[in-house]
Copies of this chain bind each other. A is one copy, B any other.
Amino acid sequence: MDKTKNELSRRDAIIGAGKIATGAAILSVGASGLLTPAKVKAASFPWGYKKLDLQEVGDIAYETWYKSFCCQAVVSGILKPLQKKIGEPYASLPLDAFKWGHGGAVGWGTLCGSMTGAGIATGFIAGHEGEKILNDVIAWYADTELPIYKPAHPKSHFKNVNRSDSPLCHVSVGKWMNKEGVKFFSPQRKERCARISADVAMRTAKLLNDWKDGTYVPAHGSNVKEHGITTQLNCMECHGDDVPEPKM
């Protein structure tokens, strides 16, 4: 191997990078063209946060919904601005990895994918501490007439907002479809879910902004500790009058 040539290539790489660093580390380029870290020190976890503009968060989430649905919409609304503001490790995170949460997990109607997205985002940002924020976002979602967000250029129009009383996609969207009188594949239903994604992204970012300011106070308690089982809080909706007694 021509050592002089390597020295020059290395020098060119350094000049190309625009900086001469003390204590530099080397990444070698493998046959695949991907960088293989030699001695890369991993970023500390959790990855942290810088305060976000809520309107920007909502707008990104709304637009992303029409490409990749609810889960990726919320992840993108929060993490895309952080990819710009903070850079790595956010910048290398492939947001396309989080599409699967749509429709309550590939259409199974479980957790509304917007909140799966909120969980993923708060997980990277705040680790275990992010759980309190997610808990509050879920409680707020179930208890609030949604959607609230108004896009500057709506792709469709509808009449009704709705309180779901549940974080489940099936329950939330089903009640709203019934109220609005539209089908699942209607443009109105799509618009409603795109706007709710914006709402959840903005609510999550709002609580994260407060958290960054040191003013965030968790509001919702532990469902498990209070009810003796993991649960949502609309017990009678499925159990009717025959709600089982919790065994504490």
Contacts and interface: CB of A to CB of B under 8 A. Distances in A.
Given A14-B26, A26-B26, 15 more contacts: A16-B39, A23-B29, A25-B29, A40-B92, A100-B134, A103-B224, A107-B222, A107-B230, A108-B111, A108-B231, A108-B232, A109-B223, A116-B119, A170-B229, A174-B244
Contacts of A222: 107
A99 B123 contact: yes
Contact of A27 (B40, B42, B169): B40
Interface of A: 1, 3, 6, 9-10, 13-14, 16-29, 33-47, 87-89, 91-92, 94, 96-101, 103-111, 115-116, 119-120, 122-124, 127-128, 130-131, 134-135, 138, 167-170, 173-174, 177-178, 183-185, 222-224, 228-232, 237-238, 240, 244, 247-248
* Centre residue among A39, A167, A230 by max chain B CB count within 10 A: A230
B24 A247 contact: no
Given A14-B26, A20-B6, A111-B105, A170 B232 contact: yes
Contacts of A108: 111, 135, 138, 167, 223, 230-232
B94 A45 contact: yes
* Centre residue among A106, A115, A223 by max chain B CB count within 10 A: A106
A13 B25 contact: yes
Contacts of A99: 123, 127-128, 131
Contact of A24 (B3, B26, B230, B240): B26
Contact of A229 (B13, B42, B177, B244): B177
* Centre residue among A3, A104, A124 by max chain B CB count within 10 A: A104
Contact of A17 (B26, B29, B106): B26
A21 B26 contact: yes
A124 B224 CA distance: 30
Contacts of A232: 108-110, 170
